[in-house]
Amino acid sequence: MKKEKKIIYINLDGFSYSYYQYLHKHKLDKGFLELANDGIFFRNLYSGLISITNPMQSAILCGAWSNKTHNFYQHFDKETRKVLKHFRTFDAENIAQLFLKNGKTVVSIHQFMLENNPCVRGEKNNNYITSPKEHSNYKDRFELLGKIIKKEPIVIDEKEIVYEEFPDFLALYIDDLDSLGHNNNYEQFYKKKTYGERIFDIISRLNDIQNELVRMKELCISEGIYNDLIILLTTDHGMTPFFGKSHLNELRDDLNSLGIKAEVATCVKDDTEVVLLPYTIECSLYYIKDLDKEKKRKIDNLLKSKHYILKYLYKDEMMKKYGLDDRGPDVLISPIYNEHFYTKDYLENYGGNHDSLHKTSQHIFGMIFGGDIKKEVFTKRYRSIDLLPSIIRSNNNYFLKDSTSNNLFDVLSRKA
Ligand SMILES: [Zn+2]
């Protein structure tokens, strides 16, 4: 039997494919191209619903959407008439649990969805490792990975742990790009007025991360483990800029003018029929009273007529096509690029978020590389939940028990 390879899964939170397209257009993607020579590059990889960090991070780790994980960030609970947040709810078997159950070693560096699930701080076989710095960035976290590659001790609570053999599964989580994409003040990068200015900050950090990845490859080669590795590099969602007046109150007023009693989730009254629950860009509608056909038709006509709406999805479609939990909204509304449903206007600086059906949020970066993987560009459409199940089926003949991915591909048998 062929020797099983070790898996490194790197998640660069908020790595929109549009950032990669920017790099490529300006011929700044030399590092990524070098890595793509050693494996599979995904041209059409997509995030899911709802494209927010915790739901998408958990989806990737178990190969299933929220009908299995029960995490789609939040919902309006019709019984208690309250908004319930899902925080770190993760009700499906994840890859680290599966590996550990099979006697393998798993390590998480800052991949928080695996914290105590099953990775525990200081446990050698299922370790949860974080940087001693309070605000660690990509460099600090790659440094921890570098120590493991070099078999140097990792110090946790004064205890030294050395991995004489590289762990069977290692997850590394990095969120510099996400913070910059949200237009937060981040390290030396101050909040910018426009996305046109901010993109330089994002590209600058992405370039640093690209160089770090190439250094990691070189280190793996010099330590003699590159041929024994499958390295997955991907993300949870992209990022979409938005600016200007929110459409939230406007949509509520439009619904009311049609004779439908609609309120924002924080102001629900006894006679409210439709609840509007915004996140940042998208707005969900919950029908908390039975609406007759006529009212539903009126809502549909309203949504159809609005120039600022890109797309709206009904619950049936979201459950069937996107594996959405049945506690999800009756309608999910996503505006066109730049528009939003946030609870306040954005008149000063632009904002960035990823709860959007726009391609800048949905189309994500992904590649799989290693010393022994055949070069290939995948143009077929894949979803983020297809990645890890495909890798472990090819490499370990493992199946995640809750995975609903039905679009698996081969990672290893392609080598000539
Ligand atoms: Zn995220």
Cα 88 to ligand 1 centre (Å): 13
Distance from the alpha carbon of residue 275 to the mean position of ligand 1, in angstroms: 26
User: Within 10 Å of residue 67's Cβ, how many Cβ atoms?
Assistant: 19
Instruction: Establish if 284 belongs to a structural domain.
Output: yes
pLDDT in tens, 86-130: 999 999 999 999 999 999 999 999 999 999 999 999 999 999 999
Give the model's pLDDT for residue 416.
47
Same domain flag for 381 and 303? no
Residue 2: which pLDDT band, with cuts at 50, 70 and 90?
confident
Q: Could you tell me if 45 and 137 lie in one domain?
A: yes
Rounded CA separation 115/75 (Å) = 24
How much distance in Å is there from the Cα of 15 to the middle of ligand 1?
9
Domain membership of residue 13 as a residue range = 6-239+358-396
Distance from the CA of 162 to the center of ligand 1, in angstroms?
A: 31
pLDDT of residue 415: 46
Number of domains in the chain: 2
Whether the predicted pLDDT of 169 surpasses 80 = yes
Instruction: Tell me if 407 is assigned to some domain.
Output: no
- Could you tell me if residue 416 is inside a domain? no
CB 38 within 8 A of CB 373: yes
Q: Give a yes or no: residue 410 inside a domain.
A: no
The residue from 344, 371, 405 where one domain ends is: 344
**Are 219 and 362 in a shared domain?**
yes
18 and 136 in a single domain? The answer is: yes
Question: 380: domain CATH number?
Answer: 3.40.720.10
Domain membership of residue 285 (yes or no) is: yes
- pLDDT at residue 171 in the model: 99
Between the CA of 25 and the centroid of ligand 1 the distance, in Å, is: 25
For residue 207, pLDDT beyond 50: yes
Question: Global pTM?
Answer: 0.97
Task: Calculate the dihedral angle through the C-alpha atoms of 202, 62, 333, 251, rounding to the nearest 10 degrees.
Answer: -90
**pLDDT at res. 1:** 57
Query: Are residue 274 and residue 178 in the same domain, yes or no?
Result: no
Distance 13 CA to ligand 1 centre (A): 5
Find the 347 Cα to ligand 1 centroid distance in Å: 24
Residue 203: inside a domain: yes
268: CATH: 3.30.1360
Q: What is the C-alpha R_g of the chain? A: 22
pLDDT digits (tens, 9 = 90+) for 181-196: 999 999 999 999 999 9
Same-domain pairing of 202 and 331: no
Cα 180 from Cα 192, distance rounded (Å)? 10
Q: What local confidence, expressed as pLDDT, does residue 85 receive?
A: 98
Tell me the two tokens of residue 216: 């990691």
Q: Residue 151 pLDDT more than 90?
A: yes
Do 66 and 126 lie in a common domain?
Answer: yes
Residues 223 and 336 in one domain: no
Listed residues: CB within 5 A of ion ligand 1: 13, 53, 178, 236
* Centre of ligand 1 from the C-alpha of residue 14, in Å: 5
Q: Is the pLDDT of residue 346 over 90?
A: yes
Q: Do residues 314 and 224 both lie within one domain?
A: no
**182 and 217 fall within a common domain:** yes
Work out the mean pLDDT of the chain and round it to a whole number: 97
How far, in Å, CA of 385 to CA of 397, rounded? 17
Asked whether residue 405 is assigned to any structural domain, the reply reads no
> Do 226 and 255 share a domain, yes or no?
no
Whether 365 maps to a domain, the answer reads yes
Rounded Cα distance between 145 and 31, Å, is: 19
Give me ligand 1 centre to Cα 305, in Å. Answer: 32
Q: CA-CA distance, 416 to 400, in Å (whole number)?
A: 28
251: CA distance to ligand 1 center in Å? 27
Checking if the pLDDT of 81 tops 60, the result is yes
Q: Residue 123's CB: how many other CB atoms inside 10 A?
A: 15
User: 173 C-alpha to center of ligand 1: Å?
Assistant: 10
Per-residue pLDDT tens for 255-273? 999 999 999 999 999 999 9
Q: Tell whether 328 and 283 lie within a shared domain.
A: yes
Mean pLDDT score, 296-301: 98
Last residue in a domain, options 320, 344, 368:
344
